[in-house]
């Protein structure tokens, strides 16, 4: 092969919708199963996928940061759909249909991703912008910025923006 | 066909059959044969694709009613 063998897969998880997060984790775990080094880079709304359900961000937040904390979904169980959300009814129906077709839940997919050593990176810049603190996000994450994403992308032959 | 290990992935939806296959084959030795049973229709092309890109060898593929069966030799 002329080109040096690239064995990575990277994904930018930008959106915080249940359906898009599912798609991201399905591709990520599939790629890991195929022996790829997978990095998922969570930024902007994508960070909400990683939020813990019951953790408060602390009292040193500014007014706008507190507002964001309240208004954004806390973790995989609270995400909406990108289409047909119907004020929260959509995700309920989707989850029911997923269950009846034996599709793993997003929570299970996240655990599977961690078991498969998928690297999950939270973008520190968007955490700052949205006022999210490390303790509000699940354990086992790395914290980094654009340069670390790009350097992973250079070693990968599949780079997705979801 | 003889196999060293049978993975029952029946009822599991994408991507679980390949994820389980990967986990199972990691526990085998080179040359061992993993037999996979799946009912996800996508598995008919997913398991061969997984085998190809992970470097193992698909020895045989069969249907038994709803169940898809695969025999894979670990590289």
Cβ–Cβ < 8 Å for A8, A152: yes
Residues pairing with A80 in the sheet = A17
Residues pairing with B57 in the sheet = B73
Average confidence (pLDDT) over A99-117: 96
Tell me, what's the pLDDT at A127? 95
Cβ–Cβ < 8 Å for B75, B31: no
CB contact under 8 A, B54 and A34: yes
Cβ–Cβ < 8 Å for A20, A161: no
In degrees, rounded to 5, the angle at the alpha carbon of residue A65 between the alpha carbons of residues A61 and A71 is 130
For residue B35, the enclosing domain spans: 5-73
Q: Where are the domains of chain A?
A: 8-161
Distance (Å) from the alpha carbon of B22 to chain A's nearest alpha carbon:
5
Distance (Å) from the alpha carbon of B56 to chain A's nearest alpha carbon:
11
Task: Identify all chain A residues contacting B11, using CB atoms and an 8 Å cutoff.
Answer: 102
Which is catalytic among the residues B14, B44, B49, B75? B14
DSSP A104-136: PPHHHHHHHHHHTT-EEEEEHHHHHHHT--GGG
Task: Identify all chain B residues contacting A34, using CB atoms and an 8 Å cutoff.
Answer: 18, 22, 50, 53-54
CB contact under 8 A, A102 and B12: yes
Distance (Å) from the alpha carbon of A25 to chain B's nearest alpha carbon:
9
CATH class of A8-161: alpha beta
Number of domains within chain B: 1
Average confidence (pLDDT) over B3-17: 95
- Reduced to 3 states, what is the DSSP secondary structure of residue A48? helix
Average confidence (pLDDT) over A49-65: 90
Task: Identify all chain A residues contacting B53, using CB atoms and an 8 Å cutoff.
Answer: 34-35
Angstrom distances, CA of residue A44 to CA of A15, A78, A126, A130: 7, 16, 5, 8
CA-nearest residue to B48 within chain A is: A34
Question: For the segment A1-44, what is each residue's pLDDT rounded down to a tens digit?
Answer: 445 688 999 999 999 999 999 999 999 999 999 999 999 999 99
Tell me, what's the pLDDT at A59? 80
The beta-carbon neighbor of B15 closest among A26, A35, A102 is A26
Which residue in the block uniquely carries the two structure tokens 């979801």? A162
Tell me, what's the pLDDT at A2? 40
CATH number at residue B48: 3.30.110.40
Round to whole Å and give the CA distance between A42 and A49.
8
Where in chain A does DSSP place strands (E)?
A: 8-13, 37-42, 119-123, 142-144, 156-161
Average confidence (pLDDT) over B23-48: 95
Cβ–Cβ < 8 Å for A130, A65: yes
Structure tokens at A97: 């249909």
For chain A, how are helix, strand and coil distributed in percent, rounded to 5? 50, 20, 35
Round to whole Å and give the CA distance between A16 and A105.
15
Question: Please, what is the average pLDDT of chain A?
Answer: 94
Between A12 and A59, the more confident residue is A12
Does the annotation mark B5 as catalytic? no
Cβ–Cβ < 8 Å for A40, A159: no
């Amino acid at each position: 092969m002329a080109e040096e063998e690239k064995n990575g897969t990277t994904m930018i998880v930008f959106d915080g919708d249940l359906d898009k997060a599912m798609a991201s984790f399905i591709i990520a775990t599939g790629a890991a199963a195929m022996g790829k080094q997978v990095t998922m880079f969570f930024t902007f709304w994508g960070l909400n996928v990683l939020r813990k359900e019951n953790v408060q961000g602390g009292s040193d937040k500014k007014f706008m940061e507190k507002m964001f904390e309240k208004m954004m979904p806390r973790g995989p169980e609270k995400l909406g759909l990108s289409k047909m959300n119907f004020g929260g009814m959509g995700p309920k129906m989707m989850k029911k249909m997923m269950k009846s077709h034996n599709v793993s839940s997003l929570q299970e997919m996240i655990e599977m991703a961690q078991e498969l050593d998928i690297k999950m990176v939270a973008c520190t810049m968007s955490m700052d912008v949205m006022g999210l603190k490390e303790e509000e996000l699940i354990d086992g994450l790395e914290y980094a910025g654009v340069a670390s994403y790009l350097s992973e992308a250079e070693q990968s032959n599949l780079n997705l923006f979801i | 066909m003889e196999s060293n290990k049978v993975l029952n992935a029946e009822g599991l939806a994408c991507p679980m059959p390949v994820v389980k296959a990967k986990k199972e084959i990691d526990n085998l030795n080179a040359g061992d044969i993993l037999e996979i049973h799946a009912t996800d229709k996508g598995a008919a092309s997913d398991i061969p694709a997984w085998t190809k890109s992970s470097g193992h060898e698909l020895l045989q593929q069969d249907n038994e009613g709803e169940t898809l069966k695969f025999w894979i030799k670990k590289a």
